[in-house]
Amino acid sequence: MLADYDTHAYIECMQYSLRGVAPELDEALRARARAEGKSLNAVALEALAEGAGLGESAVVRRDLSDVAGTWRRDKAVEKALSDQDRIDEALWK
């Protein structure tokens, strides 16, 4: 078993190798690093922490289940939406 100081040293410099990083994610992380003037490593660690709910500020996520299925038909709203579907032929010439 490792001594406490050995364990601490190991944890302090924990290494990960990530494979299969999607090009979109790579691009987003690199853009964020450039914009914030930080290293790719620092930005990736921040993103991992945020994703795990360990970021500086808690990210509040909603699934909208509290509003799903609560739509009530309203004649005025239905008319306004219907009016938006109408094509003004004069504008398309």
Mean pLDDT, the chain cut into blocks of 10 residues (93 residues total) = 57 83 96 96 92 76 85 92 87 78
* Any domain includes 93: no
Per the structure, the complete domain to which residue 40 belongs is given by: 21-86
pLDDT value at residue 28: 97
What type of residue sits at position 53?
G
* Any domain includes 5: no
* Any domain includes 78: yes
Whole-structure pTM over 0.85, yes or no? no
pLDDT value at residue 8: 62
pLDDT value at residue 34: 96
* Any domain includes 41: yes
Residue range 45-56, pLDDT digits in tens: 999 988 888 877
Domain count, the chain: 1
pLDDT value at residue 78: 93
Closest CA to 46 of 63, 60, 61, 28: 28
* Any domain includes 61: yes
Q: How far apart are CA 54 and CA 48, in angstroms?
A: 8
